[in-house]
Structure 1
Amino acid sequence: MRRSMTSGIGLMALMAAAFAVCEAGPAVARAPAVAEDAAVRKTATGVEIRLADGVLRLDPWSDNIVRVRFSKTEAWTGNYNPAVIAQPGKVDWTLESGAEKVALKTPALQLIVDRASGEMTVLDAKGQRLTRARPRDGETAPSVQRFELNSQEAIYGLGQHQAGLMDYRGSSVLLQQINTDVAVPMAVSSRGYGVLWNNPATTRVDVATPQYAHSLRFASEAGGGVDYHLIVGPEIDQVIAGYRGLTGQAPLMARWTWGLWQSKERYETQAETLSIVQRYRQMGVPFDAVVQDWQYWAPGGWGSHQFDAQRFPDPAGLVKAVHDLNAHIIISVWPRFDLTTANHDELRKAGALFEPAYPNVYPAGEGRWYDAWSGKGREIYWSQIMRNLGRYDFDGWWLDGSEAELGGKPGQMAEVTTAAGPGAESFNSYPLMHTTAVHDGMRRDMPGKRPFILTRSAYAGQQRNGAITWSGDVEGDWHTFARQIPAALNFSVSGIPYWSADIGGFFGGDPQDAGYAELFTRWYQFGVFNPMFRVHGTGKGKALWDFKPDTQARLIAYDKLRYRLLPYIYSTAWEVTQRSGTMMRPLVMDFRTDANALRLTDQYMFGRGLMVSPVTQQGAELRTIYLPKGDWYDFWTGARLAGGRTLAVKADIDTIPVHVPAGTILPLGPVVSYADQPSQEPLEIRVYPGRDARFELYDDAGDGHGYEKGERATTLLTWSDTAKTLRLGAREGRYPGMKAVQPLKVVCVPTGKAQDVRYAGAETSVTLADCR
Structure 2
Amino acid sequence: MAYHTKLEFVWDKEEALYGLGSHEEGVLNLRGTHQYLYQQNMKAVVPVLVSTNGYGIVVDSYSTMKFHDDIHGSYIWTDMDSEMDYYFVYGPGFDQIVKNYRYLTGKAPLLPKWTFGYVQSKERYKTQEELISVIKEYRQRQIPLDLIVLDWRSWTGGDLWGGQKSFDPERFPNPTEMMEKIHKLNAKLMVSIWPIMNNEGPNHLEMKQKGYLLGNKATYDAFNEEARNIYWKQANEGIFSHGTDAWWCDCTEPFEADWFGEIKLEPEERLFINTQEAKKYLDPGYINAYSLLHSKGLYENQRQTTERKRVVNLTRSSFAGQQKYSTITWSGDIAANWETMRNQIADGLNMCVTGIPYWTLDIGAFFVSNRDQWFWDGDYQEGCEDLGYRELYVRWLQYGAFLPMFRSHGTDTPREVWRFGEPGTPFYDTLVKYIKLRYRLLPYIYSVAGWVTHQDYTMMRTLAFDFRNDPNTYNVNDQYMFGPSFLVNPVTDPMYYESGSVEIEGVAKKRSVYLPAGTEWYDFWTNQRHRGGQTIEAHADLETMPLYVRAGSIVPIGPTIQYTAEESNDPLEIHVFKGKDGSFLLYDDEGDTYEYEKGAYATITLRWEDQNNCLVIEDRQGTYPGMKMSMKLLLIIIDGGKENVDQKNITYNGEQTIIDF
Pairwise same-fold verdict (TM > 0.5): yes
Superimposed CA distance per residue, residues 695-723 of structure 1 (whole angstroms, 9 cap, x where no aligned partner): 00011111111111111110000011111
SS in 1 for 2:107: coil
Residue number in structure 1 paired with 2:108? 250
Residue number in structure 2 paired with 1:263? 121
The whole-number CA distance in structure 1 between the counterparts of 2:465 and 2:415 is 34
Residue 589 of structure 1 deviates from its aligned partner by 0.5
Of 524, 529, 541, which aligns to 1:635?
524
The whole-number CA distance in structure 2 between the counterparts of 1:538 and 1:414 is 27
Of 568, 572, 596, which aligns to 1:707?
596
Of 165, 168, 190, which aligns to 1:308?
168
Residue number in structure 1 paired with 2:411? 538
Of 607, 623, 628, which aligns to 1:734?
623
Residue 416 of structure 1 deviates from its aligned partner by 3.4
Residue number in structure 1 paired with 2:295? 435
Task: Give the TM-score of the pair, scaled to structure 1.
Answer: 0.78
User: One-letter code of the match for 1:431?
Assistant: S
Residue number in structure 2 paired with 1:683? 572
Q: How does 1:268-667 map to 2 (within 5 A)?
A: 268-299=126-157, 300-302=159-161, 303-357=163-217, 368-405=218-255, 410-412=274-276, 414-418=278-282, 422=283, 424-508=284-368, 509=380, 510-549=383-422, 550=425, 551-619=427-495, 621-629=509-517, 630-667=519-556
Residues 369 and 406 of structure 1 are in contact (CA less than 8 Å); yes or no, is this contact kept in structure 2? no
Residue 406 of structure 1 deviates from its aligned partner by 5.2
SS in 1 for 2:554: strand
Superimposed CA distance per residue, residues 399-433 of structure 1 (whole angstroms, 9 cap, x where no aligned partner): 00011135556114542355xxx2x1001111110
The whole-number CA distance in structure 1 between the counterparts of 2:604 and 2:16 is 37
Residue number in structure 1 paired with 2:660? 767
Q: Percent identity?
A: 41
Structure ranking higher in strand proportion: 1
User: One-letter code of the match for 1:179?
Assistant: N
The whole-number CA distance in structure 1 between the counterparts of 2:449 and 2:38 is 29
Residue number in structure 1 paired with 2:11? 149
Q: How does 1:27-176 map to 2 (within 5 A)?
A: 142-176=4-38
Residue 308 of structure 1 deviates from its aligned partner by 1.9
Residues 614 and 656 of structure 1 are in contact (CA less than 8 Å); yes or no, is this contact kept in structure 2? yes
Residue 349 of structure 1 deviates from its aligned partner by 2.9
The whole-number CA distance in structure 2 between the counterparts of 1:557 and 1:670 is 13
Residues 622 and 649 of structure 1 are in contact (CA less than 8 Å); yes or no, is this contact kept in structure 2? yes
The whole-number CA distance in structure 2 between the counterparts of 1:306 and 1:211 is 50
Residue number in structure 1 paired with 2:375? none
User: One-letter code of the match for 1:694?
Assistant: S
Superimposed CA distance per residue, residues 751-772 of structure 1 (whole angstroms, 9 cap, x where no aligned partner): 211000100101001111xxxx
Residues 120 and 408 of structure 2 are in contact (CA less than 8 Å); yes or no, is this contact kept in structure 1? yes
The structure showing larger relative contact order (alpha-carbon pairs under 8 Å, at least 6 residues apart) is: 2
User: One-letter code of the match for 1:347?
Assistant: M
Q: Alignment RMSD, CA only?
A: 1.3
Residue 334 of structure 1 deviates from its aligned partner by 0.3
Residues 413 and 427 of structure 1 are in contact (CA less than 8 Å); yes or no, is this contact kept in structure 2? no
Task: Give the TM-score of the pair, scaled to structure 2.
Answer: 0.91
SS in 1 for 2:36: strand
Of 582, 588, 594, which aligns to 1:693?
582
User: One-letter code of the match for 1:761?
Assistant: G
The whole-number CA distance in structure 2 between the counterparts of 1:679 and 1:413 is 54
SS in 2 for 1:352: coil
- When Rg is computed on C-alpha atoms for both structures, the one with the higher figure is 1
Residues 106 and 324 of structure 2 are in contact (CA less than 8 Å); yes or no, is this contact kept in structure 1? yes
The whole-number CA distance in structure 1 between the counterparts of 2:391 and 2:11 is 42
Residues 406 and 412 of structure 1 are in contact (CA less than 8 Å); yes or no, is this contact kept in structure 2? no
Residues 166 and 235 of structure 2 are in contact (CA less than 8 Å); yes or no, is this contact kept in structure 1? no
The whole-number CA distance in structure 1 between the counterparts of 2:468 and 2:76 is 24
SS in 2 for 1:344: helix
The alpha-carbon distance between structure 1 residues 242 and 413, as it changes in their structure 2 partners (threshold 3 A), is farther
Runs (4+) off by over 3 Å: 405-409
Residues 174 and 204 of structure 1 are in contact (CA less than 8 Å); yes or no, is this contact kept in structure 2? yes
The whole-number CA distance in structure 1 between the counterparts of 2:279 and 2:91 is 39
Residues 260 and 288 of structure 1 are in contact (CA less than 8 Å); yes or no, is this contact kept in structure 2? yes
The whole-number CA distance in structure 1 between the counterparts of 2:135 and 2:242 is 18
Residue 339 of structure 1 deviates from its aligned partner by 3.4
Residue 164 of structure 1 deviates from its aligned partner by 1.2
Residue 587 of structure 1 deviates from its aligned partner by 0.2
User: One-letter code of the match for 1:447?
Assistant: E
Superimposed CA distance per residue, residues 28-77 of structure 1 (whole angstroms, 9 cap, x where no aligned partner): xxxxxxxxxxxxxxxxxxxxxxxxxxxxxxxxxxxxxxxxxxxxxxxx8x
SS in 1 for 2:634: strand
The whole-number CA distance in structure 2 between the counterparts of 1:590 and 1:282 is 42
SS in 1 for 2:9: strand
The whole-number CA distance in structure 2 between the counterparts of 1:515 and 1:333 is 33
Structure 1 unpaired stretches of 5+: 1-75, 80-140, 358-367
Residues 106 and 321 of structure 2 are in contact (CA less than 8 Å); yes or no, is this contact kept in structure 1? yes
Q: How does 1:187-266 map to 2 (within 5 A)?
A: 187-207=49-69, 209-212=70-73, 215=74, 217-266=75-124
The whole-number CA distance in structure 2 between the counterparts of 1:234 and 1:350 is 50
The whole-number CA distance in structure 1 between the counterparts of 2:244 and 2:168 is 17
SS in 1 for 2:655: coil
Residues 167 and 238 of structure 2 are in contact (CA less than 8 Å); yes or no, is this contact kept in structure 1? no
The whole-number CA distance in structure 2 between the counterparts of 1:319 and 1:500 is 25
The whole-number CA distance in structure 2 between the counterparts of 1:445 and 1:188 is 37
Residue 540 of structure 1 deviates from its aligned partner by 1.5
User: One-letter code of the match for 2:219?
Assistant: W
Superimposed CA distance per residue, residues 168-212 of structure 1 (whole angstroms, 9 cap, x where no aligned partner): 1111100000000111101111111111001111100112x0121
Residue 350 of structure 1 deviates from its aligned partner by 2.8
SS in 2 for 1:437: helix
The whole-number CA distance in structure 2 between the counterparts of 1:308 and 1:382 is 19
SS in 1 for 2:288: helix
The whole-number CA distance in structure 2 between the counterparts of 1:316 and 1:539 is 30
SS in 2 for 1:708: helix
Q: Which moved more, 1:506-515 or 1:622-631?
A: 506-515
Residues 439 and 560 of structure 2 are in contact (CA less than 8 Å); yes or no, is this contact kept in structure 1? yes
User: One-letter code of the match for 1:210?
Assistant: I
Structure 2 unpaired stretches of 5+: 260-272, 369-379, 496-507
SS in 1 for 2:66: strand
Residues 252 and 315 of structure 2 are in contact (CA less than 8 Å); yes or no, is this contact kept in structure 1? yes
The alpha-carbon distance between structure 1 residues 305 and 145, as it changes in their structure 2 partners (threshold 3 A), is same
Residues 297 and 308 of structure 1 are in contact (CA less than 8 Å); yes or no, is this contact kept in structure 2? yes
Residue number in structure 1 paired with 2:645? 752
